[in-house]
């Protein structure tokens, strides 16, 4: 079975549509695993929720999904993120609110635990360092954990004796073979990449081959930026999409 692993769509419909098309062109996926932050920052929150719901999928809650429901303290956000959250909140209808309200903090699917931030702090913790990743391995029961939140494609690997944690930066079109060691895997961000590459990032897990493949997808960044401008979203959020930062 093939699973598309996506995260941090962030209301960026153009990026999300380009990723879905790319998945199709690569032979499709039977199920989508979405690691949260469907909304926030971008111009099309309702359309992104609606599009995701058309697919067989599992999704967990992210900090921006919570913020759009008024469940997060906006003092924890920078000015632009908070402004975009207030705007997003006003766009959501009862259907979208109902969908976001029902997102769990974590899910287990086979060998994988799905969370937004980290298994220890599912909504808020960023896993970018070996130090925090190593601690995290004690907080999930499955062999592998999928995380988003940092918008950076990364893999943390725990050595067989549990003594060492390695950080692997992932290049596009890389194949990650699942072997004995436990892993924490971040597919990167669909709607607002932050690793210096502005292309949308995602991965496909092929359970028969035991392989996760990482991909980058070019999308119409200018179209998303134009929509953000029309909706009066903060300029810094518009600009950063060009740089992938």
Interface residues with Zn ion (CB under 5 A) are: 8, 37
Residue, CB closest to Zn ion = 37
**Identity of the residue, 59 or 178, whose beta carbon is nearer to Zn ion in the bound complex:** 59
Q: How far is the CB of 192 from Zn ion (least distance, A)?
A: 7
Q: How far is the CB of 85 from Zn ion (least distance, A)?
A: 12
Q: How far is the CB of 8 from Zn ion (least distance, A)?
A: 4
Q: How far is the CB of 99 from Zn ion (least distance, A)?
A: 17
Question: What is the layout of strands, in order, in the sheet containing 200-206?
Answer: 57-59, 31-34, 2-6, 200-206, 211-217, 175-177
**Identity of the residue, 37 or 195, whose beta carbon is nearer to Zn ion in the bound complex:** 37
CA separation, residue 189 to residues 34, 40, 113, 156, 194 (Å): 11, 13, 18, 17, 7
Burial of residue 180, with CB atoms counted within 10 A of its CB: 0-12 exposed, 13-18 middle, 19 or more buried = exposed
Q: How far is the CB of 36 from Zn ion (least distance, A)?
A: 7
Q: How far, in Å, CA of 84 to CA of 128, rounded?
A: 24
**Identity of the residue, 115 or 165, whose beta carbon is nearer to Zn ion in the bound complex:** 115
**Identity of the residue, 8 or 195, whose beta carbon is nearer to Zn ion in the bound complex:** 8
**Identity of the residue, 82 or 166, whose beta carbon is nearer to Zn ion in the bound complex:** 82
């Amino acid at each position: 079975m093939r699973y598309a692993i996506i995260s941090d769509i962030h209301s960026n419909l153009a990026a999300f549509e380009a990723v879905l098309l790319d998945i199709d062109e690569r032979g499709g996926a039977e199920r989508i695993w979405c690691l949260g932050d469907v909304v926030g920052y971008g111009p099309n929150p309702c359309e992104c929720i609606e599009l995701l719901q058309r697919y067989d999928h599992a999704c967990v809650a992210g900090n921006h999904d919570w913020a759009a429901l008024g469940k997060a303290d906006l003092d924890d956000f920078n000015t632009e993120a908070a402004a975009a959250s207030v705007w997003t909140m006003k766009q959501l209808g009862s259907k979208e609110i109902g969908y976001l309200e029902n997102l769990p903090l974590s899910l287990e699917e086979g060998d994988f635990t799905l969370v937004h931030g980290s298994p220890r702090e599912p909504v808020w913790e960023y896993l970018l360092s070996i130090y925090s990743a190593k601690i995290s391995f004690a907080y999930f029961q499955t062999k592998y954990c999928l995380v988003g939140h940092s918008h950076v494609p990364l893999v943390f690997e725990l050595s067989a004796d549990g003594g060492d944690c390695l950080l692997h930066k992932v290049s596009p079109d890389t194949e990650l073979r699942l072997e004995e060691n436990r892993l924490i895997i971040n597919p990167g961000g669909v709607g607002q990449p932050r690793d210096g590459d502005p292309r949308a990032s995602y991965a496909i897990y092929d359970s028969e081959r035991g392989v996760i493949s990482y991909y980058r997808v070019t999308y119409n960044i200018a179209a998303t930026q134009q929509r953000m401008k029309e909706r009066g979203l903060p300029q810094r959020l518009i600009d950063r999409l060009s740089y992938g930062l």
